[in-house]
Amino acid sequence: MAKKEKELKKIKKHHRVNNILLGPLERPAIAWLVAHMPQWVTPDHLTFLGFFASVLIGVSYYLTNFDKNFFWLANLGFFLNWFGDSLDGNLARYRKIERPRYGFFIDHTIDTISEVLIFVGIGLSPYVDLTLALLALVGYQCMANLVYITTSVKGEFKISYASLGPTEVRFIAILTNIFMFFVGNPEITLPWLHAPVQLYNLVVTLVIFLLFFFFTYTTITTGIKLERKDRKKMLKKLAKQKSAFQGS
């Protein structure tokens, strides 16, 4: 029972790590927005705004089957998703109305549903192969699970890797959508492939590679560090027990 309470305490009082490329721009913007947020707006409102935006993104990608102008609606969805997802927790902390367990549970449960909606929407568009979109979803979920497990084990909520986080992912998606709108989805011939590949599929393939690379690398390195730390504690404990036994 005491062990479970200790693990829960790590989740409630975790240390956030979000060292991202856009941080110097994002952090002051968030600080200003939470300070000027209307009083009637609550963290829950922002959480569900982020979820609504995810629905908007997924539907917009599907609707690009009929009109590429829906790329702009998807971009609006990414902005609203950033607004809701980035500000809900920050607003709670600014107003000192945190609900750590509820916030952690609701926020990341909705994040999971949102990610499914977005990646499936991308796969249902005429620009990305559905199989690749689902593989990207698996990779993103692997990284998300790694974040939650690390939070529980180490009390460290790390959402940035190699200076990339959710904000950069949204920004890259917006830039890609703008490129697709103006240029289309050209086919690229690579020397090691027998058939040309569409640009958006190539971008998603790169994303898949990065997701699984960071997941594998972080899993191995973190596992090694934790094993060494636990082994050191175990040996120290055994040495104390041996000393006590010899003394008796």
Cα gap 108→11, rounded to integer Å: 12
d(CA 42, CA 185): 40
pLDDT averaged over the chain? 89
Tokens 């986080």 appear where?
165
Using 70 as the pLDDT threshold, list the residues of the chain that sit under it: 1-15, 17, 246-248
Largest CA distance in the chain: 82
Q: Are 23 and 17 in contact (CB under 8 A)?
A: no
Quick check: 18 and 85 in contact, CB under 8 A? no
pLDDT, tens digit, 9 for 90 and up, residues 182-205: 999 988 887 777 778 898 999 899
Q: Where are the beta strands (DSSP E) in the chain?
A: 15-17, 156-158, 187-188, 197-198
What's the sign of the alpha-carbon dihedral 93, 24, 171, 136?
negative
Query: Tokens representing 220?
Result: 């191995």
- The pTM assigned to this predicted structure is 0.87
Query: For the residues of 106-130, what is the DSSP string, one character each?
Result: HHHHHHHHHHHHHHHHHHHSTTS-H
